[in-house]
Amino acid sequence: MRPALQPGDWLLVDPTTRRWPRRGTIVVVRQPASGRLVIKRVAARPGDTIRVPGGQHRLGSAEAWLLGDAPEISVDSRRYGAVNLDHLVGRAWLRYGPFGRPFGPVGQPSRRRSAR
Amino acid sequence: MSRLTTRLVQALAPTTVASAHCDIPCGIYDPHGAVLAAQTVAKMVELIGALDGTSPADRNKFIRCVTVKEQHAEIVKHEVQVIWSDYFKPEHLVANPDLHTKVWNLLKLAGKNKQNVDAEAAAQLQAGVKEFADIFWSTKK
């Protein structure tokens, strides 16, 4: 997730998130099948149509399409498909450490980006 | 004073770790590719069964479906073989002593799906791959 996040960053995660946040937001989810805690970015939300090999796919009412920021090495929805809301752990909200890393919100899409 | 700082840092540091990508720390093995390929084989058998026309369009689609069925049965074999030979280690056999037999049967089943248009064999292939995937994930817990 570089440069947005670096290994070792301390993040406050909002676990009260009950729906998929807007595109561009960084979320912590349980990876389908493995249950591993992983951190990804919301690329598409319920009702969005995405392009997949061989056509288009419309996401269900609880589904999101999650992608890592490093497409060459990230294991994300391209591998395990759309992720259901019950896998969502929370929204990554704030980086508060460690010392020397910038303090503040992470992964908030800018107004311009979310409008695209 | 420095002890207090250390304790404060320890108290504030996160206790849960989320990974950005799991490739490098945990290896790049994932049976999902085999699961998808087995699904594709079953879908192709279904599509082939639904064709009855002799029109050029239907014959063309028939050949395309057979080709995709062949390719994806081969993907099942490849994906299963790679995880079997490269990922599984002797200690995994303790919990799954019949792994070798299961993989052997699964590979034969993939071959059977190449040779035939058989909905039952396709369903068996899907079930077998799912079982293989479940064994794989059980070793990750």
pLDDT digits (tens, 9 = 90+) for B33-77: 899 999 999 999 999 999 988 899 999 999 999 999 999 999 999
Residues in chain B: 141
Give the distance from CA A7 to its chain's centroid.
Answer: 16
Domain encompassing residue B90: 27-138
CA B1/CA A14 separation, integer angstroms: 32
Q: How many domains does chain B have?
A: 1
Question: Within 10 Å of residue A88's Cβ, how many Cβ atoms?
Answer: 22
Residue B56's CATH number: 1.20.120.400
Confirm whether B69 is domain-assigned.
Answer: yes
- Interchain CB contact of A103 with B (< 8 Å): no
Mean pLDDT of A33-38: 84
Mean pLDDT of A52-77: 86
Sign of CA dihedral B124, B127, B133, B136: negative
Cβ contact, residue pair B19, A39, below 8 Å? yes
Mean pLDDT of A82-93: 94
What is the pLDDT at residue B1?
Answer: 57
Per-chain mean pLDDT for chain A: 86
Question: Within 10 Å of residue B118's Cβ, how many Cβ atoms?
Answer: 13
Cβ contact, residue pair B23, A7, below 8 Å? no
A34 contacts on B by Cβ (under 8 Å):
22, 137, 140
Question: Within 10 Å of residue B71's Cβ, how many Cβ atoms?
Answer: 14
* Test mutation, A5, A14, A36, A103, chain B, max B CBs within 10 A: A36
Domains of chain A: 10-109 (2.10.109.10)
Confirm whether B100 is domain-assigned.
Answer: yes
Task: Provide the shortest C-alpha distance from residue A44 to chain B (in Å).
Answer: 18
What is the pLDDT at residue A24?
Answer: 92
Task: Please spell the DSSP secondary structure of chain A, one letter per residue.
Answer: -TTT--TT-EEEEETT--SPPPTT-EEEEEPTTT--EEEEEEEE-TT-EEEETTEEEE--TTEEEEE-S-TTT--SHHHH--EEGGGEEEEEEEEEESTTSPPEE-SPPPHHHHH-
Task: Provide the shortest C-alpha distance from residue A5 to chain B (in Å).
Answer: 9
Confirm whether B12 is domain-assigned.
Answer: no
Q: Tokens 């070793």 appear where? A: B139
- pLDDT-based confidence at residue A108 (cuts at 50, 70, 90): low
Confirm whether B57 is domain-assigned.
Answer: yes
**Among A50, A11, A25, which residue's Cα sits nearest to residue A113?**
A25
Contacts of B49 (CB under 8 A, 6+ apart): B117, B119
Sign of CA dihedral B73, B79, B83, B85: positive
Residue B78, H or E segment: helix B56-82
Helix B119-138, helix B56-82: angle, nearest 10:
30
What is the pLDDT at residue B28?
Answer: 67
Task: Provide the shortest C-alpha distance from residue B23 to chain A (in Å).
Answer: 7
- Interchain CB contact of A52 with B (< 8 Å): no
**Among B35, B40, B26, which residue's Cα sits nearest to residue B131?**
B35
Cβ contact, residue pair B20, A1, below 8 Å? yes
Cβ contact, residue pair A38, B24, below 8 Å? no
Per-residue pLDDT tens digits for B81-134: 989 988 888 889 999 999 999 999 999 999 999 999 999 999 999 999 999 999
Structure tokens at B52: 């009855």
Q: State the distance between the two ends of chain A, measured CA to CA, in whole angstroms.
A: 21
Sign of CA dihedral A12, A15, A20, A22: negative
Cβ contact, residue pair A97, B17, below 8 Å? no
Of A10, A34, A73, the CB nearest to B23: A73
Per-residue pLDDT tens digits for A21-31: 999 999 999 99
